[in-house]
């Protein structure tokens, strides 16, 4: 018999049919009459200033409406505070077209508006702009001495904890030790969907912006602040996102320019960036990481030091948590963590999937592998000998931590016990076989979220919460939670998101959407259930007459007594006979801070990787991956698995090919297209096993969910690098590990 | 992208006439490269003459035992043609190593010869490039040149030709039939593309207005002992860092004829006839291949970030020749790529 217990099931995406049939509308696909089209012109230089813009030549073309530049756009809010969105780092956010100054290559310097996209693009290609070039600096290597400890400007950034124990002495006296520097390439998020905004203009200062973003409220508040608009006059909508990975956390210059144009031209506007321009804003910075580890004679960690330097821009101080995780993933009493940034002539970096942790775990987990070989201990065993039962950074117990189960179940599935320790000791013909391990830790966060639920007499439930949907499965899991809470079939539930007219939800990032919005959805649905129960009890001869809310359950379209299932009513009958057309409940949920603050709230994982390396040619194939994750309750086995599969692909790409290359002569990212910025293709990916270990946790939030958007990619990159070492004996510390590094 | 006039040619003569008559005219076949270049404003033809519908798509046997590949046959139709598969499997393998199924379905054989370099600086108008704008300088020299040439480069240009198909063609040595204002002529494949010298803006030796009509393969196809080995940064949809097309004829273990061409290494598909001569008469052993490979790279010059290509090319030549001698396919692919 079918049941309305949906949480945890492998439910297919409820928005899948709309996406594959083209019915899902993305921000560049909103059809409006009288649209004007924008096309951004980008700076060819990295530093200097604009001396002349030959706009007249372009304005003469029939159909060209305007050429916006610093010469003619109205000024916007003066205070930096007005430009700082929810996740802005400290500093002065970039303001496009407000000044002739060039601060980074590909900076937007003009926007051509025309009656068609094609015309705007053509006109933009003809626009001549003269520059006065100044010397730029984009090479972090030469700026090492400029590194400094950043302030605590950015939401979510935690400066590393102070040193504990005596890390220098402990390292000097360690039985075995290692030290090394690690670096990986700059990455750009590059979701498939280009940044795009369609703005509807409703009259003086009134707009609706259909914007590619991971947070409609963040964009709304930004627009209100920057353009001095009335809060009630700005609506931001985004029902579908074609990939975000963090690129849509901050409002991009595309939404700013599109709105600016709509307000100036007093008509609807569409602006879409090009693929090359997708390399013109935030990116995962390239960190220079230094790690020193030492072990006791028994193989447990005696000392751990991890220091990082990465770039920020000259106008903002970007920070991310790279080293903090190293102080809590393993038990170690002598720890020193350092974190510095140095400014370069680039755009401000931007959070990218598992920001900080993805980078930090590469260095720490390759270092752990090096340590294992120094100490002559199996790399998995080394990790078990320093298993952290407590978060030493915060000196708190974990709310739950089933990483040991991940180690055991992952190793068993992978067949780790058959591994031979010596590099190059496992081979098939002329293919060297390598097995590597790596892992990581990520925050389990709950944020304040609001939701609203309403049910009509025909038993149809609608739930609203203005979160984002990056493709993670938000529509689906919220539908599951709502349906299960009210005992309704999935088909009777519609979940809507991505609109500032809806109750406010947080940005979709940090792996917190399931925990935050899920809790709010569950809560308002419970409130609604309480109201329905009251209606049921008003009915004459109701079998639930004296039941308390805790005494009943909502299942299969019925409310029934838990103690006596024969005592039940049909929910739809209750609604129909109540005479009410619609019943509603709304509210918001916040984390239980008194309870949560006593614990360290984190998800963990471990990844096992097999590579095969051609011993003559250096070609690498990742043939098997097992990723075992402890992330609390899994709401949907199918969408959760898909998220982790995507994470593993990210990790493989980061290990083997993904890198934005900057030519310092021009201060410019040169491989700004999908032909030359390599991410894995299907042919690069083979077997990926995902294990979610059982992990109950009633502290993180009422649902017990920790989120899996980021944790799944941790450890993958290091495990690939470690597997390559095991196969070849070559320790590559400069990622991605391309063919030239293995010759 | 610039605005342009589009003319669908009614015949070869019409195509040649229209292209000769209009300054800034260009032929367009599948458009898989030209449209990209136009979107990036690297090329701005004002008059496009479409030759896609011309009756040049046939693949047919030639009286001398060879095979004629129509210039407008798609790369996919060519790769999967029965005669290509059975008699010129090296060509089949090279075509399938390139691009993606979607691109191969649209791209034509003529267009494949005409595709332009993937040099990052050629593609980016913000940087000087002698090939795009003669006299402005070469940004790749001293720049990010990991994908650039190790053979035959000049101080004006170190770009490479990006084709896979053309590397196999260089080994198979067809003639290229072209039609132009002065009528038809044939060009040996090795003479079709050129080295950059002091005119890097010229990719090939076509005269103004000339249109490729067909590629005429000779009878000999090296169908028994061949290999196309492509080394790249990912398993599909990436240009070759190094590719090697090898064809051998063996009498027992003695090499009686040999072809060897490299891709991703020069401004043109790089056939090495000296190496071929060194192979002929020698035993098909790893020692022979190693000696020849050392000879192949002896003239190579690195540019910094592509220095690794010299050693990689040496190893790839050995592997490709070994695979050709063994009659095995590209053995580095542990995933057992299955083709439709």
> Measured between CB atoms, which of B142, B234, B319 is closest to A678?
B234
* Residues of chain A contacting B339 with CB distance shorter than 8 Å: none
Cα–Cα distance for residue pair A391/A164, rounded to 1 Å: 13
pLDDT of residue B51: 98
Model confidence at A347, in pLDDT bands (50, 70, 90)?
Answer: very high
What ranges make up the beta strands (E) of B62-209? 67-70, 175-180, 183-188
Q: Give phi and psi for A357, each to the nearest 5.
A: -65, -40
- pLDDT for A735 beyond 70: yes
By the 8 A CB rule, do A127 and A41 touch?
yes
The residue among B234, B289, B319 with the most chain A CBs within 10 A of its CB, best to mutate, is B234
pLDDT of residue A540: 87
Cα–Cα distance for residue pair A219/A159, rounded to 1 Å: 27
| Distance between B216 CA and the closest CA of chain A, angstroms | 31
B232: buried, middle or exposed (CB in 10 Å: 19+, 13-18, 0-12)?
buried
Under an 8 A CB cutoff, do B1 and A125 touch? yes
Overall average pLDDT of the A317-323 stretch: 98
What ranges make up the beta strands (E) of A372-515? 390-391, 396-397, 427-428, 431-443, 449-456, 461-464, 493-496
Residue B25 domain boundaries:
5-52
CATH 3.30.365.10 fits A143-187+283-445+597-742, yes or no: yes
Helices (H), A84-126: 117-126
- Encode pLDDT of A534-561 as tens digits: 999 999 889 999 999 999 999 999 999 9
- pLDDT for B334 beyond 60: no
* Residues of chain B contacting A139 with CB distance shorter than 8 Å: none
pLDDT of residue B189: 98
Chains A and B: how many Cβ contacts under 8 Å? 99
Overall average pLDDT of the A29-46 stretch: 97
| Distance between A598 CA and the closest CA of chain B, angstroms | 47
Final residue before a domain boundary, out of B33, B52, B71: B52
Final residue before a domain boundary, out of B37, B52, B67: B52
Residues from A in contact with B at Cβ < 8 Å: 44-45, 105, 118, 121-122, 125, 431, 612, 614, 616-619, 621, 623, 656-657, 661, 663, 665-666, 668, 670-673, 675-676, 678, 680-684, 686, 738-740, 743
- pLDDT for B329 beyond 70: no
DSSP β-ladder status, B242-251 and A558-561: unpaired
Under an 8 A CB cutoff, do A740 and B139 touch? no
Model confidence at A711, in pLDDT bands (50, 70, 90)?
Answer: very high
The residue ranges of every structural domain in chain A are 16-23+447-590, 32-135+191-274, 143-187+283-445+597-742
- Encode pLDDT of A558-610 as tens digits: 999 999 999 999 999 999 999 999 999 999 999 999 999 999 999 999 999 99
What ranges make up the beta strands (E) of chain B? 5-8, 25-28, 47-50, 59-61, 67-70, 175-180, 183-188, 211-217, 225-231, 242-251, 254-263, 270-271
Under an 8 A CB cutoff, do B312 and A617 touch? yes
By the 8 A CB rule, do A347 and A313 touch?
yes
> Measured between CB atoms, which of B144, B231, B235 is closest to A663?
B144
Under an 8 A CB cutoff, do B235 and A616 touch? no
Reading phi first (left if > 0) and then psi (alpha if -120 to 50, else beta), residue B179 is in beta
pLDDT of residue B338: 35
pLDDT of residue B3: 86
Cα–Cα distance for residue pair B47/A381, rounded to 1 Å: 68
Is residue B279 a part of any domain in this protein?
yes
Out of 3.30.365.10, 3.40.190.80, 1.10.357.20, 3.40.640.10, which CATH number does the structure's domain A16-23+447-590 have?
Answer: 3.30.365.10
| Distance between A378 CA and the closest CA of chain B, angstroms | 27
CATH number, domain with residue B36: 3.30.43.10
Is residue B162 a part of any domain in this protein?
no
Is residue B34 a part of any domain in this protein?
yes
Cα–Cα distance for residue pair A725/A423, rounded to 1 Å: 7
DSSP state of A711: G
Overall average pLDDT of the B86-108 stretch: 96
Under an 8 A CB cutoff, do B3 and A105 touch? no
Q: Does B137 touch chain A (CB under 8 A)?
A: no
Tokens found for residue A174: 């360690």
Under an 8 A CB cutoff, do A739 and B308 touch? yes
Under an 8 A CB cutoff, do B235 and A684 touch? yes
Tokens found for residue A117: 């996209």
Tokens found for residue B98: 């390139």
Q: Which of A311, A316, A695, A710 is catalytic?
A: A710
**Omega cis (within 30) before B140:** no
Model confidence at A49, in pLDDT bands (50, 70, 90)?
Answer: very high
Q: Does B124 touch chain A (CB under 8 A)?
A: yes
Contacts of B64 (CB under 8 A, 6+ apart): B218, B219
Fold entry, domain A32-135+191-274: Aldehyde Oxidoreductase; domain 3 (3.90.1170)
Overall average pLDDT of the B308-321 stretch: 98
| Distance between B309 CA and the closest CA of chain A, angstroms | 8
pLDDT of residue B328: 72
- Encode pLDDT of A226-267 as tens digits: 999 999 999 999 999 999 999 999 999 999 999 999 999 999
Model confidence at B337, in pLDDT bands (50, 70, 90)?
Answer: very low
Q: Which residue has the tokens 């097999």?
A: A610
Cα–Cα distance for residue pair A395/B304, rounded to 1 Å: 50
Under an 8 A CB cutoff, do B126 and A45 touch? yes
Is residue B272 a part of any domain in this protein?
yes
Overall average pLDDT of the B119-130 stretch: 98
- Encode pLDDT of A603-645 as tens digits: 999 999 999 999 999 999 999 999 999 999 999 999 999 999 9
- Encode pLDDT of A148-197 as tens digits: 999 988 889 999 999 999 999 999 999 999 999 999 999 999 999 999 99
pLDDT of residue A152: 86
Is residue B195 a part of any domain in this protein?
no
A365 is catalytic: no
pLDDT of residue A403: 98
Cα–Cα distance for residue pair A64/A198, rounded to 1 Å: 18
pLDDT of residue B330: 55
- pLDDT for B336 beyond 50: no
* Residues of chain A contacting B335 with CB distance shorter than 8 Å: 621, 623, 683, 686
Model confidence at A69, in pLDDT bands (50, 70, 90)?
Answer: very high
Model confidence at B272, in pLDDT bands (50, 70, 90)?
Answer: very high
| Distance between B174 CA and the closest CA of chain A, angstroms | 29
Average pLDDT along chain A: 97
* Residues of chain A contacting B318 with CB distance shorter than 8 Å: 616
* Residues of chain B contacting A671 with CB distance shorter than 8 Å: 120
Strand partners, A101: A49
Cα–Cα distance for residue pair A588/A522, rounded to 1 Å: 10
Q: How many domains does chain B have?
A: 2
- pLDDT for B333 beyond 60: no
Is residue B31 a part of any domain in this protein?
yes
Overall average pLDDT of the B162-190 stretch: 98
Cα–Cα distance for residue pair A503/A495, rounded to 1 Å: 12
Domains A32-135+191-274 and A143-187+283-445+597-742 share a fold: no
* Residues of chain A contacting B309 with CB distance shorter than 8 Å: 740
- Encode pLDDT of B11-38 as tens digits: 999 999 999 999 999 999 999 999 999 9
Rg (CA), chain A: 27
- pLDDT for B232 beyond 60: yes
- Encode pLDDT of A91-131 as tens digits: 999 999 999 999 999 999 999 999 999 999 999 999 999 99
Under an 8 A CB cutoff, do A740 and B146 touch? yes
For B317, name the nearest residue in chain A, comparing CA atoms only: A617
Helices (H), A62-215: 80-83, 117-126, 167-172
Closest C-alpha to A667, from A186, A96, A257, A254: A186
């Amino acid at each position: 018999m079918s049941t309305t217990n949906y949480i945890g099931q492998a439910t297919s995406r409820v928005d899948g049919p709309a996406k594959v049939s083209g019915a899902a509308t993305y921000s560049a696909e909103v059809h409006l009459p009288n649209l004007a089209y924008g096309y951004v012109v980008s700076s060819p230089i990295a530093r200097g200033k604009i001396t002349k813009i030959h706009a007249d030549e372009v304005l003469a073309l029939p159909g060209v409406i305007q050429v916006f530049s610093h010469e003619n756009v109205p000024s916007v809010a003066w205070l930096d505070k007005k430009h700082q969105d929810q996740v802005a780092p400290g500093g002065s956010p970039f303001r496009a077209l407000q000044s002739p100054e060039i601060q980074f290559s590909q900076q937007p310097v003009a926007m051509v508006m025309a009656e068609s996209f094609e015309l705007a693009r053509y006109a933009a290609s003809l626009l001549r702009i003269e520059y006065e070039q100044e010397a730029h600096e984009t090479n972090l290597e030469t700026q090492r001495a400029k590194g400094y400890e950043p302030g605590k400007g950015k939401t979510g950034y935690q400066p590393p904890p102070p040193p504990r124990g005596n890390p220098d002495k402990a390292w000097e006296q360690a039985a075995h030790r290692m030290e090394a520097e690690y670096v990986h390439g700059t990455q750009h998020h590059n979701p498939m969907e280009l940044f795009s905004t369609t703005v509807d203009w409703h009259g003086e200062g009134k707009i609706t912006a259909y914007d590619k973003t991971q947070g409609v409220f963040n964009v709304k508040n930004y627009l209100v602040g920057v353009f001095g608009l009335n809060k009630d006059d700005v609506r931001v909508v985004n029902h579908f996102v074609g990939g975000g990975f963090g690129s849509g956390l901050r409002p991009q210059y595309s939404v700013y320019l599109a709105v600016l144009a709509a307000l100036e031209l007093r008509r609807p506007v569409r602006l879409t960036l090009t693929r090359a321009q997708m390399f013109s804003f935030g990116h995962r910075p390239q960190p220079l990481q230094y790690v020193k580890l030492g072990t006791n004679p028994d193989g447990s960690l005696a000392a751990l030091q991890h220091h990082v330097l990465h770039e920020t821009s000259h106008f903002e101080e970007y920070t991310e948590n790279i080293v903090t995780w190293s102080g809590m993933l393993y038990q170690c009493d002598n720890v020193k963590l350092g974190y510095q940034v140095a400014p370069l002539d680039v755009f401000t970096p931007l959070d990218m999937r598992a920001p900080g942790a993805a980078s930090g775990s590469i260095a720490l987990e390759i270092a752990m592998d090096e340590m294992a070989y120094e100490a002559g201990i199996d790399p998995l065993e080394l990790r078990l000998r320093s298993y952290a039962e407590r978060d030493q950074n915060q000196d708190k117990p974990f709310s739950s931590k089933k990483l040991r189960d991940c180690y055991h179940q992952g190793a068993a599935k992978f067949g780790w016990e058959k591994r031979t320790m010596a590099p190059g000791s496992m081979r098939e013909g002329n293919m060297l076989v390598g097995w590597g391990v790596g892992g990581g830790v990520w925050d389990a966060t709950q944020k304040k979220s609001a939701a609203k639920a309403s049910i009509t007499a025909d038993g149809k439930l609608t739930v609203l919460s203005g979160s984002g949907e990056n493709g993670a499965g938000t529509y689906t899991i919220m539908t599951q939670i709502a349906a299960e809470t009210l005992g309704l079939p999935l088909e009777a539930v519609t979940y809507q998101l991505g609109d500032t007219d809806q109750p406010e939800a947080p940005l979709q990032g940090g792996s917190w959407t399931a925990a935050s919005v899920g809790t709010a959805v569950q809560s308002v649905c419970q409130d609604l259930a309480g109201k329905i129960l009251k209606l049921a009890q008003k009915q004459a001869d109701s079998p639930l007459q004296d039941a308390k809310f805790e005494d009943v359950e909502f299942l299969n379209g019925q409310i029934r007594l838990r103690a006596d299932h024969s005592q039940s009513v049909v929910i739809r009958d209750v609604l129909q006979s109540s005479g009410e057309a619609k019943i509603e409940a709304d509210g918001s949920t916040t984390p239980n801070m008194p309870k949560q603050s006593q614990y360290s709230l984190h998800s963990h994982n471990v990844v096992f990787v097999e590579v095969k390396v051609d011993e003559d040619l250096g070609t690498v194939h990742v043939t098997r991956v097992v990723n075992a994750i402890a992330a609390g309750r899994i709401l949907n086995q199918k969408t959760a698995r898909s998220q982790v599969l995507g994470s593993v692909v990210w990790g493989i790409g980061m290990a083997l090919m993904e890198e934005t290359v900057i030519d310092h002569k021009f201060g410019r990212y040169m491989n700004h297209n999908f032909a030359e910025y390599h991410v894995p293709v299907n042919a690069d990916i083979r077997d990926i096993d995902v294990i979610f270990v059982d992990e109950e946790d009633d502290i993180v939030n009422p649902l017990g969910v920790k989120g899996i958007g980021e944790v799944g990619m941790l450890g993958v990159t290091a495990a690939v690098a470690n597997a390559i070492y095991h196969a070849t004996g070559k320790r590559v510390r400069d990622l991605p590990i391309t063919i030239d590094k293995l010759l | 992208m610039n605005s342009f006039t589009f003319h669908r040619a009614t015949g070869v003569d019409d195509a040649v006439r229209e292209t000769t008559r209009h300054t800034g005219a260009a032929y367009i076949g599948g458009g898989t490269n030209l449209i990209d270049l136009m979107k990036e404003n690297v090329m701005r033809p004002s008059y496009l003459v479409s030759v896609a519908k011309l009756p040049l798509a046939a693949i047919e046997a030639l009286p001398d035992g060879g095979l004629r590949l129509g210039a407008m046959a798609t790369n996919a139709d060519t790769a999967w043609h029965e005669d290509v598969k059975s008699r010129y499997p090296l060509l089949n393998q090279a075509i399938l190593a390139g691009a993606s199924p979607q691109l191969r379905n649209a791209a034509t054989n003529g267009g494949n010869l005409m595709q332009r370099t993937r040099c990052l600086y050629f593609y980016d108008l913000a940087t000087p490039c002698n090939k795009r704008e003669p006299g402005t300088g070469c940004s790749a020299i001293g720049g990010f040149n990991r994908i650039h040439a190790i053979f035959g480069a000049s101080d004006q240009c170190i770009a490479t030709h990006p084709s896979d198909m053309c590397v196999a063609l260089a080994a198979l040595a067809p003639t290229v039939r072209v039609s132009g204002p002065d009528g038809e002529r044939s060009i040996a494949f090795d003479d079709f593309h050129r080295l950059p010298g002091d005119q890097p803006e010229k990719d090939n030796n076509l005269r103004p207005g000339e249109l490729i009509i067909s590629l005429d393969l000779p009878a000999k196809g090296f169908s028994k002992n061949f290999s196309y080995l492509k080394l790249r940064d990912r398993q599909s949809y990436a240009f070759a860092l190094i590719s090697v097309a090898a064809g051998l004829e063996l009498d027992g273990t003695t090499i009686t004829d040999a072809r060897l061409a490299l891709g991703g290494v020069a401004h043109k598909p790089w056939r090495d006839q000296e190496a071929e001569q060194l192979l002929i008469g020698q035993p098909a052993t790893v020692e022979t291949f190693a000696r020849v490979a050392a000879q192949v790279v002896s003239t190579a010059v690195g540019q910094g970030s592509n220095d690794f290509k010299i050693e990689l090319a040496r190893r790839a030549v050995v592997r490709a020749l070994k695979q050709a001698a063994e009659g095995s396919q590209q053995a580095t692919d542990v995933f057992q790529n299955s083709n439709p």
